[in-house]
């Protein structure tokens, strides 16, 4: 079966290039405009604080995936406008039905579409540290893997509106085999604008 997480970084790089040339549009009357600087993604990586607050560099993208009609929210935050390969965090939340508040989504929960030869975890993500080391929480145990998979990730939405999304997240992520260096992401919180959406709500 194909696995969306393996292509996650490439997707985000492409989206980053696309978004770099876009600006948010005014959708007309709605909720009161958010105060500039109010958005954030913050968390601890092995106890060290990380916080991203630049509105241009933290955002969510809502997608309805082809074939499966699965609903996905991609969330990205990074420190450097011209560098997506360090000081950054990415994660995705996916479900077969519209995403909702209150539900705890987990990497260990998998969605399967055998008719399309596709499968995906409900949550997966990555953390890039200041030196550019990349840690991923995306694998699940397969007999073909020569190591024990300990990847873990959770996410929960407390607010989903037409313009913003808010919630919490955590991860246990690793560098690639054979090094398998570990990072534990705790106290993750996000409140970000929705930059792009093609979701059929």
28 vs 63, residue with greater confidence: 63
Q: How far apart are CA 143 and CA 71, in angstroms?
A: 29
Q: Classify burial at 163, counting beta carbons within 10 Å of its beta carbon; exposed 0-12, middle 13-18, buried 19 or more.
A: middle
Read off the pLDDT of residues 130-150 as tens digits, 9 standing for 90 and up: 999 999 999 877 777 888 889
| Residue 78 to residues 4, 35, 90, Cα–Cα distance (Å) | 22, 20, 9
Strand stretches in 4-70, DSSP E:
40-45, 48-52, 58-64
- Determine the pLDDT at residue 16: 46
Residues in the chain: 201
Chain-centroid distance, C-alpha 103? 16
β-strand pairing of 48-52 with 40-45: antiparallel
- Determine the pLDDT at residue 45: 98
Contact between residue 126 and residue 175 where contact means Cβ atoms under 8 Å apart: no
Confidence of residue 28 (pLDDT cuts 50, 70, 90): very low
- Determine the pLDDT at residue 144: 78
Closest CA to 78 of 67, 65, 89: 89
Whole-number CA gyration radius for the chain: 16
Q: Which of 62-71, 113-122, 133-142, 175-184 has the lowest mean pLDDT?
A: 133-142
Confidence of residue 42 (pLDDT cuts 50, 70, 90): very high
Torsion over CA: 37, 40, 45, 47 (sign): positive
- Determine the pLDDT at residue 170: 98
Residue 23 above 60 pLDDT?
no
- Determine the pLDDT at residue 139: 84
């Amino acid at each position: 079966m194909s696995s969306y997480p393996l292509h996650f970084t490439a997707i985000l790089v492409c989206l980053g290039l696309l978004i770099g040339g876009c600006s948010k549009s005014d959708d007309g009357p709605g909720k009161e405009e958010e105060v500039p600087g109010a958005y954030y993604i913050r968390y601890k990586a092995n106890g060290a604080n990380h916080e991203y607050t630049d509105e241009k560099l933290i955002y969510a993208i809502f997608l309805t995936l082809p074939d499966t009609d699965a609903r996905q929210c991609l969330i990205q935050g990074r420190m450097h406008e011209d560098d997506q390969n360090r000081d950054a965090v990415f994660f995705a939340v996916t479900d077969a039905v519209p995403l909702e508040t209150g539900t705890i989504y987990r990497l260990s929960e998998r969605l399967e579409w055998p008719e399309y030869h596709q499968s995906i975890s409900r949550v997966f993500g990555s953390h890039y540290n200041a030196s550019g080391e990349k840690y991923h929480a995306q694998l699940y145990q397969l007999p073909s893997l020569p190591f024990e998979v300990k990847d873990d990730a959770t996410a929960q939405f407390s607010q989903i509106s037409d313009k913003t999304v808010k919630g919490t997240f955590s991860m246990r992520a690793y560098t690639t085999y054979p090094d398998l260096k570990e990072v534990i992401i705790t106290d993750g919180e996000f409140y970000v604008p929705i930059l792009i959406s093609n979701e059929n709500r």
